[in-house]
Chain A
């Protein structure tokens, strides 16, 4: 089950890389977060870790529900460009994505003897970190860059839940707090842009 969810996580992220429409991208991001939250719930219920269950539920609520919705509202309000063709051509991206994956999978290989639990999670989260970086790089527009930043946060959360079997609650809450603050700052940045033009 965990393998399935982790596969789904990576799959949604890769699909997001090839998306050319903003709302689709937000949809994939929401799905990505949803699988992440389900993953945290699954692992948390297996470990009987109440903190992880809570953070999984928060993830589903915030990252899969509230944040994509807010971003959608913001993009309506500030009339952001909704066509977001990646600036890296698909032909090259097709070669780049597997290259990144192979690289990160081999990078994480020595870890497999060290982490208790499953080393694949570390590999997948490192590769999703790089893929979200790619998502930020390949777009010129602001909105997909924000989504890239958010999915980077997701990759970190994945690493936190799987590699360490849950971060301390304090840190998790701090990360959520900072995420919300990031949204506020993004809102302010967009707001000023409108006021100027």
Chain B
């Protein structure tokens, strides 16, 4: 399983004058992966994705997609990729359907109008097919971005910050759609984000880059299980909670601080259930428990 590399970059670099945006980046994405591409803003994610889509030409290194060199097989490779690159921009003076119809003409396999309506329904734009894009919110444009990326049934889907501008329901819909495409249709998906929790939920493998270089790459479960979660607890009645924590060495060791009646701990993922049970066994009803793991925290733990 996961033996066939779909994307492989070797010593991939991009230099803009004296600024190195991507520095000798090696990454491998296998067939069937939902691959998280993580890094803070300005880390080089979008530059790398643009190189994968041949919008930007590498200064050094190579890109192989579907087992072929991108620079020699650009059109063939692009015919098998669907992508959203940064914010989805469309022809604002055209309707959603007209935009898709126009892009449809540029594919080797043309879709029927009914199929285009189906795709627009799939991404949640039913009823807005004939609205001009200039009337769309950012979230609706993002949905149309998905429609154009999926319309030619690509084998590989590249999504650059796909949940930007979406409301919570939209974010959930995107997650569900990505998982559905991966699980039911076997699509390989590369998704970039600067939000670790987003990647944690939907990806099986990930890479973290910073200042254009790889920090770490591997299985999401393996990489994140080594690191502690920041978890905050809220109790129904916390009058004796602080004293209780101070009585237990394990809790004291893991405790960070109390902020607005929320008790913050650093815990391994395996310790969360254990500490919850400890509180319950001692009569502290846990009102809420919120795990927080930011990319910044992860970096601090990594370095």
Partners in one complex: no
Q: Which residues of B contact A (CB under 8 A)?
A: none
